[in-house]
Amino acid sequence: MKLQTQRFIDRWVGQLLCAGVSAWVRLTGGWVKPVQNPKNILVILLSEMGSIVLAGPMFSELRRKYPGVNIHILQLKKNQEVSKLLQLTQAEHMHSLDDSSGGSLIRDILSISLKMRRQGLDAVIDCELFSRVSALLSFTTGAPVRVGYTPHTQEGLYRGSFINHAIPYNPYQHISKQFLSLVDALESAGSAPRNKAAAIRDLPTDTELSVHFSQGELQAYNSKVHADHPVTANRALVLMYAGGGILPERAWPAEHYARVAQGLCAAGFAVGLIGLKDDAQLASNLRASVASDACIDLTGYTKSIRELLMLFHASNLLITNDGGPGHFATLTPIQTMVFFGPETGRLYGPLGTRNTVLESGIACSPCLSAYNHRLTFCDGDNQCLKRIAPDPVLEQALAFLQSRNGETAA
């Protein structure tokens, strides 16, 4: 199902359903109670795959706070690969929705709701910001404690009043901290927008997630890269993700990427252009602009997220647009440089110390938020990213690479 169609249904049908459920809860005398010794908690996380990495500290906190709890995770089917790779919970506790069509989505919503009711959930945590479908799912699962965000007095973001452990969405706090606030809200005796008894938390410096690779496995993959692309055998590899994914306005201009790639190749480094098969034409255009054998096309080269992480292990630096690759990179030793513009690194930047966020800071940036359902008003003219000049980025990349490899620019 197209993203715009999902937004339309969520906005108009979702609001009507949320109003109906809210009226029902008021009539039947719904109550608020804290969680005590929960056995089953469902986490609803329907966002992009990168959000799963940013939610890592939340999952760790749930396990610390409630040892032995069964954590169930509900995601879109296309995003489940990451959770399975990270082993966030047991396979039988991973549940998915197929949003490829309206029919399959409705079928899975009904199926999951019935399954969760039979499971006997103690609580559900809705990690989505102002999505009506996730709020409705938190109710249909039958969990007595429903944790999620509230817009409080914000107009146009209505999704009912049946989230009985609601906390205000805070547009000034990194999303990883806000995920942790949802855990705190489980034990709150009262609903939002007040959760004054919650812990004071710092921004997590670690995802608390990892993927194990044996040394032999990494060496074998490194040898495979060298065999498939001999130019990488004698050059340190820099990866670039120039695609914008489902939000093209998040992409730094292709000509800027080409300028940086030219400089890196001239300085003795290899540049690998990564992405999905859909990014192959973009990669072909970039290679033509760079005009160097040291610039190679790696779009579609990795067949899984696990292989992508091994490629990160085999590389020195990732230069990327905002999106999944920048977050997956935090699970490996690679250094990253991530462009933000329509969204901001202050809210969605990768966790850890091995990354640099690049933002221009112009007046209209960031323009995508929970309040406008990530619909930009710039009509594709993303000046916030166009104004990040390529030469300073190249200088910064070379400074890191040369300090790491002890090489000098050509």
Please state the rounded mean pLDDT for residues 360-381: 88
Asked whether residue 410 carries a pLDDT value surpassing 50, the answer given is: no
d(CA 147, CA 149): 7
Contacts with 350 (C-beta within 8 Å, 6 or more apart), sequence order: 53, 326, 327, 329, 330, 336, 338, 357
357, 377, 251, 102: CA torsion to nearest 10: 110
pLDDT of 285 above 90: yes
CATH superfamily membership of 3-185: Glycogen Phosphorylase B; (3.40.50.2000)
The confidence band for 187, taking pLDDT boundaries of 50, 70 and 90, is confident
Q: What is the pLDDT, as a whole number, of residue 200?
A: 83
Q: Please give the C-alpha separations between residue 399 and each of 132, 152, 402, 404, in angstroms, as whole numbers.
A: 46, 47, 5, 9
**CB of 3 closer than 8 Å to CB of 125:** no
pLDDT at 107: 96
Please answer whether residues 345 and 338 qualify as being in contact, where contact means their C-beta atoms are separated by less than 8 angstroms.
yes
Please state which of the ranges 99-103, 236-240, 346-350 shows the lowest mean pLDDT.
99-103
Handedness of CA 364, 251, 4, 304 (dihedral sign): negative
With 0-12 / 13-18 / 19 or more C-beta atoms within 10 angstroms meaning exposed / middle / buried, residue 40 is: middle
Among the residue ranges 6-10, 211-215, 304-308, the one predicted with the least confidence is 6-10
Same fold, 3-185 and 215-404: yes
Which CATH number, 3.30.70.980, 3.40.50.2000, 3.50.50.60, 3.30.559.10, labels domain 215-404? Answer: 3.40.50.2000
Q: Answer whether 235's CB lies under 8 Å from 271's CB.
A: no
Q: What pTM does this model have?
A: 0.93
CA-closest candidate to residue 333, choices 313, 353, 303, 363: 313
Closest CA to 263 of 195, 208, 319: 319
Q: Is residue 296 pLDDT above 90, yes or no?
A: yes
| Banded model confidence at residue 118, pLDDT cuts 50, 70, 90 | very high
314-369 pLDDT, tens digit each: 999 999 999 999 999 999 999 999 999 999 999 999 999 999 999 999 999 999 98
- Give the 3-state secondary structure of residue 72: strand
First and final C-alpha spacing in the chain: 50
Averaged pLDDT for residues 241-263: 95
- Are the beta carbons of 145 and 164 closer than 8 angstroms? yes
Q: Tell which residue, 186, 217, 214, has the closest CA to residue 199.
A: 186
> Would the pLDDT of 197 be above 70?
no
Contact (Cβ atoms closer than 8 angstroms) between residue 340 and residue 358: yes
Domain boundaries, the chain: 3-185, 215-404
